């Protein structure tokens, strides 16, 4: 499941006395990676870390560590500390959100991805078909042994899909590499998931939340310092069937694409792992359950929800 995140960067103008910003762009696993920093070595450090971690988390690379794990069944598989850590974090988000973020439903997500990619759309699954596919998942069937460094998949055919958290985690690991190299100013943009390290010369990093319905326009801009922002939305990846529009984001409870009046959810957090995973969960929750979640969980998050009804677009800020 690939999330399309529609965030535009607004970089403040530099005066001639300030050092230049180095801007580098890469493509890794079909996702663009942009690094902006006054340090010329920052991009190389970030790209090298992304390449290393991609060999672990890439669901679509047959020889990645995750793919190898997904081919196993009922036997402990020795894995890297990074894979243990990110699945453990995913489990924590699963518990926190009451199951709205569920990396164990890879078989379900793959089913819908294949259907969406089928341009003909003659087939639409029944509830019975979806219920059978849902039986393949379940976080309780992913067993972590941190001491031995192993993961055991206890459900045959279960697929772990880290698409909603791995990118944020990779950003955070790259930020740590930058700090280890004494780099204190950089902006990392991985497919729209953004982390702003330190300050930009002359002020804060400034980013904008894009308008889902008006490409190139912004609904909000904000200044970030040692913070991340990630967005989930359905305005670029969707499909239609018999006149009805369906999101590419799948509700793990119903097993069907999420439907509702939310166009996008943006989350600002202290790290990209949190922002990435919660943006997905909050979008699937819907605004009523999101309000209920916030009433029960104190946090320092900033959340921006864009909805649409017969009166037009609305921006909700929490």
SS3 247: strand
Tell me the mean pLDDT in the region 62-87.
97
pLDDT for position 204: 93
Q: Rounded to an integer, what is the distance from CA 317 to the centroid of its chain? A: 20
pLDDT for position 147: 95
What does the alpha-carbon distance between residue 117 and residue 15 come to, in Å, rounded to a whole number?
Answer: 47
CB-CB contact of 194 with 228 (8 Å): yes
pLDDT tier, 4 (very low <50, low <70, confident <90, very high otherwise)? very low
Q: How many CA atoms lie within 13 A of 210 on its CB side?
A: 20
Q: Does residue 84 register a pLDDT over 90?
A: yes
What does the alpha-carbon distance between residue 173 and residue 25 come to, in Å, rounded to a whole number?
Answer: 18
Per residue in 250-277, pLDDT (tens digit) is 999 999 998 878 999 999 999 999 999 9
What are 238's strand-pairing partners? 247
pLDDT for position 247: 76
- List domains and CATH numbers for the chain: 7-317 (3.10.520.10)
What does the alpha-carbon distance between residue 235 and residue 5 come to, in Å, rounded to a whole number?
Answer: 9
pLDDT for position 120: 54
pLDDT for position 124: 81
pLDDT for position 18: 63
Does residue 293 or residue 29 have the better pLDDT? 293
DSSP of 123-173, one letter per residue? ----HHHHHHHHTT--GGGEEEETTTTEEEE-STT-B---TTTHHHHHHHH
Does residue 57 or residue 30 have the better pLDDT? 57
What are 305's strand-pairing partners? 265, 316
Among 84, 88, 30, 66, smallest CA distance to 159 is for: 66
């Amino acid at each position: 499941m690939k999330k399309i995140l529609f965030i535009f960067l607004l970089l403040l103008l530099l005066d001639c006395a300030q050092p230049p910003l180095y801007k580098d762009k890469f493509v890794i696993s079909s996702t663009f990676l942009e690094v902006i920093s006054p340090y010329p070595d920052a991009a190389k450090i970030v790209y090298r870390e992304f390449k290393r971690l991609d060999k672990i988390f890439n669901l679509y690379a047959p020889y990645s560590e995750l793919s190898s794990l997904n081919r196993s069944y009922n036997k402990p598989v020795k894995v890297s500390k990074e894979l243990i850590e990110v699945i453990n974090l995913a489990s924590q988000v699963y518990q926190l959100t009451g199951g709205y973020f569920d990396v164990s439903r890879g078989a379900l997500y793959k089913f819908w991805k294949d259907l969406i990619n089928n341009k003909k759309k003659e087939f639409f699954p029944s509830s019975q078909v979806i219920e059978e596919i849902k039986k393949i998942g379940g976080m309780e069937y992913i067993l972590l042994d941190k001491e031995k460094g192993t993961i055991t998949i206890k459900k045959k055919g279960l697929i772990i899909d880290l698409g909603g958290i791995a990118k944020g985690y990779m950003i955070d690991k790259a930020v740590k590499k930058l700090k280890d190299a004494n780099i204190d100013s950089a902006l990392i943009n991985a497919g729209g998931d953004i982390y702003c390290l330190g300050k930009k010369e002359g002020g804060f990093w400034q980013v904008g939340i894009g308008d889902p319905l008006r490409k190139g326009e912004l609904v909000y801009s904000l200044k970030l310092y040692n913070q991340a922002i990630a967005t989930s939305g359905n305005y670029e990846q969707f499909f239609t069937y018999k006149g009805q529009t369906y999101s590419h984001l799948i509700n793990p409870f119903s097993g069907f694409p999420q439907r509702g009046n939310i166009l996008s959810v943006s989350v600002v957090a202290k790290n990209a792992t949190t922002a990435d995973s919660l943006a997905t969960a909050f979008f699937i929750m819907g605004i009523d359950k999101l309000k209920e979640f916030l009433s029960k969980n104190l946090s320092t998050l900033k959340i921006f929800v864009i909805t649409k009804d017969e009166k037009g677009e609305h921006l909700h800020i929490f």
